[in-house]
A and B are shown apart, each in its own frame.
Chain A
Amino acid sequence: VSGTEPVAVQPSNRLAWAPDLLVRRSDRAVLLCTNANPEPLVLRDSAIALWDEFEAGATPATVARELAARFGVEESNTARDIEFLVAELCRAGALIEIS
């Protein structure tokens, strides 16, 4: 992800896929095209699982809990890991805040 300052996202903010996003999937990646980035963002591995959790709308805290349970890791560690990626996806316009 290229760009400047990441966006600060509260763990309790509800986020979802931006409706104007252009998306393609391969067997091992999700490519996201937004207006903010000239080149598509490429998500791989666990970032794909995180991305899919936001399809219908979710909070970062909920997603951290889901992923921690699925992969059998500490929720606090997962929350830290996803914080940066979620902020970057918001900055790029791939995730937006919903009410």
Chain B
Amino acid sequence: MTSVSSQLAAVVAAHGLPGARPEPLPPFAAAAWDAFRDDVVDQRLAGLALECAADGVLTLDDAQRDELLSLHEQQLAVDLRLERFLRTAARFLEAHGVAYRALKGPVVSRVAYARPELRSFADVDILLPGKQFDDAVELLCRELDLARRFEQPRSGFDRRFGKGVCLTAADGLELDVHRTLAAGPYGATLAVDELFAAEPTRVRIGGHAVYGLPTGLAFVHACLHAVLGGGAPRLVPLRDAAALGSVGFDIDEVRSFCARSRVLAVVGLALERTSAVLAVDLPPALLAGFMGERPTRFDRWALSTYRAVGPSYAAQAAATFWVLPSMRDRLAYARALVWPDDQYLRARDRGHLRRLTRSASLGLRWRPR
């Protein structure tokens, strides 16, 4: 992504939010158009880009508009297939008495966007309670013919310690089943049981009322995704955070949840990024509630494991050990990662001894300082 096209993509992502820049941008030269088109499609912003064009912020010629419309329609077809998949999973879980919360696109598009066409997605995500996690994943795999992309290190690991598991359908669609809302140490400190205690949002998807996280917790999730998501920075989580923040919720209540979950600094950082990248006006009460929080020593250490470059996954796994609440948890966690099942080991390392030395080294390197 060039810096110019990334700035333009940020203008598109901000469109429609309070304080977004309304000045019309000049027409694209051919090369600039190619880069911009690729960026907005990659960031799943084609719907917002077309909205920008309709509102006179982007100037597109007929060929550019046609091309963008075709690409947007391809994405809309994917969104529809994914929502049908989510509805099937939701109905199935409800029928089996499994509590769940749908996350991200299908819910946020209905709660915080003018219409669902403006918020596309690449997969669907649900959150399950740890107690029901293993049984529900097994049921989903068996009854909906889904397959796990990766095995867990040991039986029970995902239910107790994992971020979640990715399930794939025969047609290639993916269902990300989460136990918590982030990988690594912040995923471990999150008060996951409280995510189910709050009254859920209900959104109608294909005639079915699907349960989602309440707006305040969906806002927290968007912030965590924006800062801790890994890989190249994405614009959609920033826009989700701004849009959900503008919908309104009980800030004191959400702030208390964040404090108990030790993610206050992460939310503050996400709002700083949202403000800087999208250049939009965030509600003053939101800024007062979450910004200006000084990162603690814990935050500086934990955040260092989420850097875009470097040993992210291994560092997060090692750091998680140090934040688990009890010695019993730490021992079970370490045992699963240091001495995993043979099937898991074969796919990753040469043997138990190599795994043991590597784990010990990582654990010491990423201990709290």
How many whole Å from B314's CB to the nearest CB in chain A?
40
Which residues of A7-41 have CB atoms within 8 Å of chain B's CB atoms?
18-29, 31, 33, 35, 38-40
Instruction: Please tell me if the beta carbons of A22 and B205 are within 8 angstroms of each other in the complex.
Output: yes
Judged by a CB distance under 8 angstroms, whether B13 is at the interface is no
Asked if A22 meets B80 with Cβ closer than 8 Å, knowing A27-B50, A33-B206, the reply is: yes
A29 to B81, CA, bound (A): 16
- Give the tally of cross-chain contacts (CB within 8 A): 52
Instruction: Please tell me if the beta carbons of B69 and A22 are within 8 angstroms of each other in the complex.
Output: no
Asked if A38 meets B171 with Cβ closer than 8 Å, knowing A24-B80, A33-B83, the reply is: yes
A38 to B77, CA, bound (A): 11
Of A20, A25, A39, which one neighbours B206 at CB under 8 angstroms? A20
Q: Which residues of B contact A25 (CB under 8 A)?
A: 117
B residues whose Cβ falls under 8 Å from a Cβ of A? 50, 54, 69, 72-73, 76-77, 79-81, 83-84, 87, 116-117, 171, 205-208
Q: Which residues of B contact A28 (CB under 8 A)?
A: 69
Instruction: Please tell me if the beta carbons of B80 and A40 are within 8 angstroms of each other in the complex.
Output: yes
Secondary structure call for the B interface: helix
A19 to B87, CA, bound (A): 13
A32 to B79, CA, bound (A): 11
A25 to B117, CA, bound (A): 7
A residues whose Cβ falls under 8 Å from a Cβ of B? 18-29, 31, 33, 35, 38-40, 42
Instruction: Please tell me if the beta carbons of B205 and A26 are within 8 angstroms of each other in the complex.
Output: no
Instruction: Please tell me if the beta carbons of B84 and A35 are within 8 angstroms of each other in the complex.
Output: yes
A39 to B79, CA, bound (A): 11
Q: Which residues of B contact A35 (CB under 8 A)?
A: 84
Instruction: Please tell me if the beta carbons of B206 and A21 are within 8 angstroms of each other in the complex.
Output: yes
Of A18, A19, A20, A31, which one neighbours B80 at CB under 8 angstroms? A31
**Shortest beta-carbon contacts, A-B, top 10:** A33-B80, A20-B207, A24-B76, A22-B206, A19-B207, A40-B80, A40-B77, A22-B80, A20-B206, A26-B73
How many whole Å from A84's CB to the nearest CB in chain B?
23
How many whole Å from B113's CB to the nearest CB in chain A?
13
Q: Which residues of B contact A23 (CB under 8 A)?
A: 80
Known: A20-B206, A22-B80. 16 other contacts (CB 8 A): A20-B207, A21-B206, A21-B207, A22-B87, A22-B205, A24-B76, A24-B77, A24-B79, A24-B116, A26-B73, A31-B73, A31-B76, A33-B84, A38-B81, A39-B81, A40-B76
